[in-house]
């Protein structure tokens, strides 16, 4: 790593009271199917910037793959070193050696091209408009919902949201339930692991680790009560995509690196583990999108670096447990 870049100090991510609080994303525009909109859906106009280690970026990459948008939206992958200037381009683990449009070496340069006065963190995912040379959006939950339907007119009929089994990834009949679950899962699970891992005091850690496992217990009970393949039935929805990127990292990184070690998904949550295996190993409705976008080495290395550890955990032996026969 260049001497001009310093790895972020995790203690500086917490507030003075020791609690980690994630700042809101700043770029919140939308791609629209309307050709007269400020950001209309067009082939090869937009670029998705990600890092393989980041769960928020992983959501967007899964949605891009599930929807068959690989030939419509360009993907740029950065390395897994997060610095004060954002993610770096270093060519490791299949990432780009440099930014392909402008030759940038770190992610802050893209943000500052969009807004030279920008003050804040240089996060991923980042959706970039090549025509207007600006950031459209850097909020993962909004980007994935754009991907569900905004580009549908450019896709074959069978890939369009309205024609998907179950009514799509964000079906009208389930939106209230999906939004309700997403809210508490975000606070206590998706972001909850970060509240534990980046806590700067014992009190802050204790106040967040208990709600994390209470929510995992609640999700386990939800699957038990419903007895369905996925969280809201027999088809993948927005809630499955948002939860997957946290749980696939749980035993691999959060148990050890973020000290979320009270229970493990593979041993203590039978239904969540089966759900996770089904998404990762599945080839039917998943189209292999969850497995091909999951990269365990950058995940472990990235979190180790994020906590300023020089040691990357050796295990677990199986990053995700083998598929159960007949599952």
CB 77 within 8 A of CB 96: yes
Q: Is residue 158 helix, strand or coil?
A: helix
**Residues forming a β-bridge with 46:** 129
Identify whether the C-beta of residue 178 lies closer than 8 Å to the C-beta of residue 170.
yes
217-222 LR contacts (CB < 8 Å, sep 24+): 219/185, 219/189, 219/243, 219/269, 219/272, 220/269, 220/270, 220/271, 220/272, 222/181
**From 48, 54, 76, 204, the catalytic residue:** 54
Q: How deeply is 167 buried, as exposed, middle or buried, from its count of CB atoms within 10 A (0-12, 13-18, 19+)?
A: middle
Tell me, yes or no, if 196 is annotated catalytic. Answer: no
Rounded to whole angstroms, how far apart are CA atoms 210 and 315? Answer: 25
Q: Which residues are known to be catalytic?
A: 54
């Amino acid at each position: 790593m260049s001497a001009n870049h310093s790895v972020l100090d995790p203690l500086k991510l917490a507030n003075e009271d020791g609690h980690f609080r994630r700042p809101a994303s700043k770029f919140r525009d939308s791609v629209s199917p309307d050709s007269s909109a400020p950001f209309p859906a067009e082939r090869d106009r937009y670029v998705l910037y990600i890092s393989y280690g980041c769960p928020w970026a992983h959501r967007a990459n899964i949605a891009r793959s599930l929807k068959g948008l690989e030939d419509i939206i360009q993907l740029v992958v950065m390395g897994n070193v997060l610095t004060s200037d954002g993610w770096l381009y270093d060519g490791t683990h299949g990432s780009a050696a440099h930014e392909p449009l402008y030759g940038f070496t770190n992610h802050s340069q893209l943000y500052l091209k969009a807004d030279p006065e920008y003050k804040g963190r240089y996060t991923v995912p980042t959706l970039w408009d090549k025509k207007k040379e600006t950031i459209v959006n850097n909020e993962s939950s909004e980007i994935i919902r754009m991907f569900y339907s905004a580009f549908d007119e450019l896709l074959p009929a069978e890939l369009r949201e309205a024609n998907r089994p179950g009514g799509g990834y964000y079906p009208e009949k389930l939106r209230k339930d999906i939004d309700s679950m997403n809210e508490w899962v975000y606070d206590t699970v998706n972001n909850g692991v970060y509240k534990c891992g980046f806590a700067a005091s014992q009190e802050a850690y204790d106040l967040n680790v208990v709600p994390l496992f209470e929510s995992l217990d609640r999700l386990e009970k939800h699957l038990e009560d419903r007895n369905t393949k996925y969280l809201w039935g027999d088809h993948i929805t927005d809630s499955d995509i948002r939860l997957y990127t946290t749980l696939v990292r749980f035993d691999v990184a959060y148990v050890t690196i973020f000290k979320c070690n009270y229970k493990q998904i593979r041993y203590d949550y039978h239904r969540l583990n089966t759900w996770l295996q089904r998404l990762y190993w599945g080839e039917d409705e998943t189209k292999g999108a969850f497995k091909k976008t999951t990269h365990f080495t950058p995940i472990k290395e990235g979190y180790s670096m994020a906590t300023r550890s020089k040691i990357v955990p050796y295990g677990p032996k199986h990053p995700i447990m083998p598929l159960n026969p007949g599952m």
